[in-house]
Structure 1
């Protein structure tokens, strides 16, 4: 931790410095126009200060984003529709449901692919091809079709998350289930082990590192799917709705705050999966 802290802080400081520089640069034309229309005298110090405190900047400063996050998470009630906690929970609900369904679907498909050559040759190419379709193109169709059959709210967004999250699970689990060495499989056959015994005592334990690594990717992309699922529905709740509202009314600070909130949620979810990863491997006797 001590060895990694300084490099990380240096990189963060560099990013913040560059961010401030671009905020000043991109907001300057508008501020100069304001000065010109008002006929006011100004200095470069005034210009820097005012470009970093515009109400609707082209690029908000880091301080403005932090202030917006503080205002919408601490200074308002969590149940308020102005609270990022409220919107984050709405998005998190569909994220977790979609992630759970995607993980289950991915594991089942991987098991069938590994144990059935026909599935491997027929289904796996289609699974890969499914990810070439842009999610922004099919998300509105999924929402419209499901609304037509009476499904709305949480389920359509969760299905979009499932569509995105099952792919890394399938790929990771197929690799993991096939990771045992031939000599290990030969040893199991020598002991006259059944296919189920080979699966539970050899293939399944060998796949755990691959599964959790894939789950870290899947849980983050599930959040993306949930946010994308909120965009074409005109949703009034969720981080996607927050992004839409900020876009409609030119509230760039609100947009950036919602983006940082989404990034924070994704980071926490990945950390939780990582904790379970370490606990499972420790329980299995793996060395740290």
Structure 2
């Protein structure tokens, strides 16, 4: 027990304390303008943290509207991508010949840059609805969905197929059918792999949502506000939205880790 507690304490220090200390050092250098001298920047293009957080505090209501739009796109695309990715993994497991081709095609889609997919999907969804906000949200969700489908399909497929030999032998010794093996063994074995996929997909869904908003028809979202303020040379406001975007990604990732720790307690 002492060794486990000591190991846990060391892991806590390395995974939490060190990044926090590093961030604090950067913030101090930034606020005291030492960082500006090091990288050769000025306070116009790299505003001080005090000013950035002041803008966030003064524009809380408008920022929340954009945060809501971005989180809706990110989570909507994450759910759709995870669902279709898991479904593709099931097809690949049940029908190996067809599934191998599906996984290959999904991996090929993942190689296409987001900045190439987003404008195409914006054009393809123009006739979906007369409301520009509705069709814009759909286009952005599709971009996020494509990004999240691949990681889920590949990791879930590993969970379905990479079984412990003694587990499969035990099921066969009980004369278990393919359906019983699938629901009693393959699906439970895939759950840890699902969370591994979500560790990749959650940051990716936020990044995809932000980038897709750059090309969206409807002017809303954290990513779009970053772009608009940079174009207008409002760098302090742009940095405020960048900080908000970082906060969204970190918050969603922490929620995922908490859920993983609760649901997979003792399984990792």
Q: Provide TM-score, normalisation by structure 2.
A: 0.85
For 1:110 and 1:152, how far apart are their aligned partners in 2?
29
For 2:261 and 2:18, how far apart are their aligned partners in 1?
25
**Is the counterpart of residue 108 in structure 1 residue 95 in structure 2?**
no
2:249 partner SS: helix
**Is the counterpart of residue 127 in structure 1 residue 138 in structure 2?**
no
**Is the counterpart of residue 67 in structure 1 residue 54 in structure 2?**
yes
Q: How big is each residue's C-alpha offset from its partner over 1:95-131, in whole Å with a ceiling of 9 and x where there is no partner?
A: 1111110110010001111222212432222121111
Question: Do the aligned partners of 1:220 and 1:266 also contact (CA within 8 Å) in 2?
Answer: yes
**Is the counterpart of residue 8 in structure 1 residue 8 in structure 2?**
no
For 1:198 and 1:262, how far apart are their aligned partners in 2?
43
Q: Provide TM-score, normalisation by structure 1.
A: 0.79
Question: Do the aligned partners of 1:99 and 1:162 also contact (CA within 8 Å) in 2?
Answer: yes
Rg bigger for which structure? Answer: 1
For 2:49 and 2:189, how far apart are their aligned partners in 1?
44
**Is the counterpart of residue 270 in structure 1 residue 257 in structure 2?**
no
| Gaps in structure 2 of 5+ consecutive residues | 1-8
Q: CA deviation at 1:216?
A: 2.5
Q: Cα 1:9–1:133, aligned 2, differ >3 Å: closer, same or farther?
A: closer
Q: How big is each residue's C-alpha offset from its partner over 1:128-158, in whole Å with a ceiling of 9 and x where there is no partner?
A: 1111111101210111111134361321111
Aligned residues: CA RMSD: 2.2
Where does 1:76-225 land on structure 2 (aligned, <5 Å)? 78=61, 83-150=62-129, 152-225=135-208
Q: CA deviation at 1:184?
A: 1.3
Q: Cα 1:132–1:85, aligned 2, differ >3 Å: closer, same or farther?
A: same
1:12 partner SS: helix
- Give the aligned partner of residue 23 of structure 1: 36
For 2:248 and 2:262, how far apart are their aligned partners in 1?
21
- Give the aligned partner of residue 3 of structure 2: none
- Give the aligned partner of residue 39 of structure 1: none
Q: CA deviation at 1:242?
A: 0.7
Question: Do the aligned partners of 1:22 and 1:59 also contact (CA within 8 Å) in 2?
Answer: no
Aligned length: 251
Question: Do the aligned partners of 1:235 and 1:241 also contact (CA within 8 Å) in 2?
Answer: no
For 1:119 and 1:258, how far apart are their aligned partners in 2?
44
Query: Which stretch of the first structure deviates more once superposed, 201-210 or 62-71?
Result: 62-71
1:152 partner SS: helix
